[in-house]
Structure 1
């Protein structure tokens, strides 16, 4: 029998697995738990603020906690650097070769070159997932945004290979950094297309809907981080200017959020009883049920690649109203309605949704579900990754 060479893949930049929340964490969890090719060995860096670190096995993956101080925004950079050191140490100690260092997001550009030469010495390639346009996010100050852009440029320049989870991002990388001739490919983010499995009369379902006085199948839904680039101001203003009787249910974390207070003063959304901020929902099955029983989902994300909450909505929610931008159109195509920031654009779309015929609702529901099943199922995404990890074409 021929012997197989194990491909060692170190994943740097996710907070760790098992995943509780977050796109990269869910991605890594699925990559590990749905692994089919037994000749791939994953090594996962996991973030902790504890001094005592744990080393454990999770579905065959070698997981190592990396301890860092909780020092605000810079902690992510420190975490990535410490994770790279751990990967290098593990490779040396176990005499590993023929592998990949896969870095999620572009945080450590200024430091990458010195690591790449060392990893190359051991036969390891360095791959990067550039994520979305982090340097566009309004939460960062100008100097921080400048750093993100600078870091992105150096990551693209020095990486051996880039995997973009959006064709729009792949096009941007090819155009913006063409002088570096970056080698790229596109592999999307995935979605879970199974139903929630919960029933209307389940206690946790009944309690949640009664608690917020929400009527099943009659509400508009928004799920996402409460940040300016997700177009909350436009979505709330437009909903308020519509005369629909339905509620707007917003699943987001608004604790200690300055933007929430600014928006409340600007729009006076607190005077409109239809607008209901319900906090976060960490129970994934309940969240899926809430998506399934919305009349429509409104998606305002304007920064980033293939957005996880958009995929979940396409898989679960009957009608989807999406901000008209390349990322969102690429994912949903003709399965959704689109709106822009022009006054009346979204409010008209909201009103139109309430008068859709039953057959039209059914058709859009089917179109969006098919879109996810065809292009974004986790089975497909994991299969694409395994082919590229084990392939000799890189």
Structure 2
């Protein structure tokens, strides 16, 4: 499993997927190697073998450089012994390195993620690179993995390429740790919540603008940060101004506290717009949070029509926040519907089983580049 920060999962959706899928593949009897970067956590985790390699710590080079070291390591292992039967590569940005794996005759599935070229942090050359990388992923992968139907549609329409749909799983939280909330100074149902990496396409700025336009009396708690995002972070702080109702908690790495924040929110404002099936949204749903989501096809796909409300601008978000405060019972009912939907449709055991079938098909050469392309 190549192309992420590795495990334990402490950063984003890809890392969570690697941990949840990898541990289940190990339990099913498979040997799993995860390439990691950053802080070391031993040579094994939940049965997965961990290989730590360096990365160039620059925004434009970090992921690709680490994957480059990873495929070279895989090359040496393949020469020295049997090596891997299948490679799961996360992020289409790593596509230029796929020919190394193909040279080793290792079948490759690429999890293409969302529409990275739409992220504002990639301007000019960065956007061109990501769009080119998508085409290379189609050309050099034996299979593409899409975590949302909207991503499937994009690759089919743009490249004439088929993909395997495998969504993420959602953690289902039945009994939140209320004591964690109390320690942090919050009470269930008494605050609105934003959890997001600070990037413009996650619309944290819109969440703050909408909240400030509302007549809300309960505070807005903003959880998040981002590397390489000082300018956007400063913009968010300026938008909040001296409004005493808005609190920035920064990154919350205590996962029990984060779960409790989701579960206790009167509303969870989800502004993500380009990432397919978003793990933060699934986590909020699994915790029973009443979701107010930015109105794009990915969010509607995950929430359906009854498990959330949608906004497109500051005015519509302000109205939804006010509605949640006016009728918290109805908001709680939406949260319960969201948790039920997550428990039925986004199950990690099912996700891992789908990955296992995919790997078996790749190892048996039932999936090839020829099958990937329709024309």
- RMSD over equivalenced CA pairs, Å: 2.3
Aligned CA distance change for structure 1 residues 222 and 174 (closer, same or farther; 3 Å)? same
> How far does residue 144 in structure 1 lie from its aligned partner after superposition?
1.3
Give the counterpart of 2:200 among 228, 248, 263.
228
Q: Distance in 1 between matches of 2:94 and 2:225?
A: 28
Matched, 1:262 2:235: yes
> How far does residue 147 in structure 1 lie from its aligned partner after superposition?
0.9
Q: Which residue does the alignment assign to 1:78?
A: 65
CA contact under 8 A between 1:55 and 1:64: conserved in structure 2? no
Q: Distance in 1 between matches of 2:323 and 2:178?
A: 29
Q: Which residue does the alignment assign to 1:191?
A: 170
Q: Which residue does the alignment assign to 1:375?
A: 345
Structure 1, unpaired ranges of 5+:
1-10
Partner deviation per Cα, 1:331-370 (whole Å, 9 max, x = no partner): 11121011112x5211111111122262x34431221011
Q: Which residue does the alignment assign to 1:34?
A: 24
Q: Distance in 2 between matches of 1:173 and 1:130?
A: 10
Give the counterpart of 2:316 among 311, 323, 345.
345
Aligned length: 362
CA contact under 8 A between 1:68 and 1:75: conserved in structure 2? yes
Larger radius of gyration: 1
CA contact under 8 A between 2:196 and 2:204: conserved in structure 1? no
Q: 145-154 or 66-75: which moved more?
A: 66-75
Matched, 1:19 2:1: no
> How far does residue 278 in structure 1 lie from its aligned partner after superposition?
1.6
CA contact under 8 A between 1:109 and 1:150: conserved in structure 2? no
Matched, 1:172 2:154: yes
Q: How does the TM-score come out when normalised to structure 2?
A: 0.89
Q: Distance in 1 between matches of 2:45 and 2:316?
A: 47
Q: Which residue does the alignment assign to 2:218?
A: 246
Partner deviation per Cα, 1:166-223 (whole Å, 9 max, x = no partner): 1111110111111xxx3411000112113465233xxx543311xxxx4431111000
Q: Distance in 2 between matches of 1:384 and 1:125?
A: 17
CA contact under 8 A between 1:41 and 1:61: conserved in structure 2? yes
Q: Distance in 1 between matches of 2:138 and 2:220?
A: 41
Q: Distance in 1 between matches of 2:92 and 2:142?
A: 14
Q: Distance in 1 between matches of 2:194 and 2:269?
A: 5
Partner deviation per Cα, 1:138-178 (whole Å, 9 max, x = no partner): 11231111111111111112211001111111110111111
Structure 2, unpaired ranges of 5+:
368-375
- What does residue range 112-261 of structure 1 map to in structure 2 within 5 Å? 112=98, 114-120=99-105, 124-178=106-160, 182-195=161-174, 197-200=176-179, 204-209=180-185, 214-253=186-225, 257-261=230-234
Higher relative contact order (CA 8 A, sep 6+): 2
Q: Which residue does the alignment assign to 2:300?
A: 329
Q: How does the TM-score come out when normalised to structure 1?
A: 0.85
Q: Which residue does the alignment assign to 1:6?
A: none
Matched, 1:100 2:86: yes
Secondary structure at the counterpart of residue 13 of structure 1? coil
Secondary structure at the counterpart of residue 271 of structure 1? coil
Give the counterpart of 2:34 among 44, 47, 51.
44
Aligned CA distance change for structure 1 residues 362 and 245 (closer, same or farther; 3 Å)? closer
